[in-house]
């Protein structure tokens, strides 16, 4: 194969192929939940000849806990780097999670399991929404943060969902402590 590309060793050719694959891969890779639904975007910084910087708000359902939905807002870089998917996104992410129906746990989980993961730069940086349980208060706890291979960010946001009956027919409220392992 290197005969088609003189001067490139097979290792360099494989590295180039992986780089090109990363460029065309979807931006939300390795997510624990389905793709989030875009609710809306608002421009924050005007760019003359390229896309504007924006704030985008997304919604998603917890794939392991029926009856919980989360919304998060992330900054999206504009400019040519942002348009090409080469810009490193900042770590300012907000999060709100709420009960939207009767809560039903699908199976046992561990504290801090990923609910959702999304790439925030071409390489090494990702946003994660993780879930846990405050068994004493019977409250689901969701936290969003971003990490990077070398240096993460302490910026984070937390949201809680008290597990409550959902209408008169939902008399048996589940206890999150029964579904989470330490």
User: Which pLDDT does position 168 carry in this prediction?
Assistant: 81
The arithmetic mean of pLDDT across residues 51-55, rounded, is 76
Q: State the distance between the two ends of the chain, measured CA to CA, in whole angstroms.
A: 51
pLDDT at residue 1 in the model: 46
Q: In the predicted model, what is the mean pLDDT of residues 42-64?
A: 81
**Cα 114 from Cα 72, distance rounded (Å):** 15
Contact 154, 138 (CB under 8 A): no
**pLDDT tens-digit series, residues 66-105:** 999 999 998 876 655 555 555 555 667 899 999 999 999 9
CB 36 within 8 A of CB 59: yes
Mean pLDDT of the chain: 77
* CB 142 within 8 Å of CB 129: yes
Lowest mean pLDDT among 35-44, 84-93, 133-142, 159-168: 84-93
Flag whether pLDDT at 22 surpasses 70. no
Mean pLDDT value across residues 44-65: 82
């Amino acid at each position: 194969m290197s005969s088609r590309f003189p001067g490139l060793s097979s290792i360099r050719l494989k590295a180039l192929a992986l780089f090109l694959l990363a460029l065309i891969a979807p931006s939300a890779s390795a997510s624990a939940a389905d793709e989030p639904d875009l609710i809306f975007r608002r421009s924050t910084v005007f760019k003359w000849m390229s896309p504007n910087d924006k704030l985008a708000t997304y919604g998603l359902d917890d794939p392991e806990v029926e009856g919980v939905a989360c919304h998060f807002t992330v900054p999206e870089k504009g400019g040519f780097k942002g348009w090409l998917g080469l810009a490193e996104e900042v770590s300012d992410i907000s999060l709100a999670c709420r009960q939207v129906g009767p809560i039903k746990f699908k199976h046992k989980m561990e504290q801090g399991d990923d609910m959702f993961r999304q790439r925030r730069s071409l390489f090494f940086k990702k946003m994660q929404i993780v879930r846990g349980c405050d068994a004493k208060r019977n409250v689901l706890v969701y936290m969003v943060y971003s990490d990077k291979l070398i240096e993460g960010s302490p910026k984070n946001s937390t949201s809680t969902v008290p597990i409550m009956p959902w209408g008169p027919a939902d008399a048996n409220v589940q206890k999150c402590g029964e579904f989470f392992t330490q």
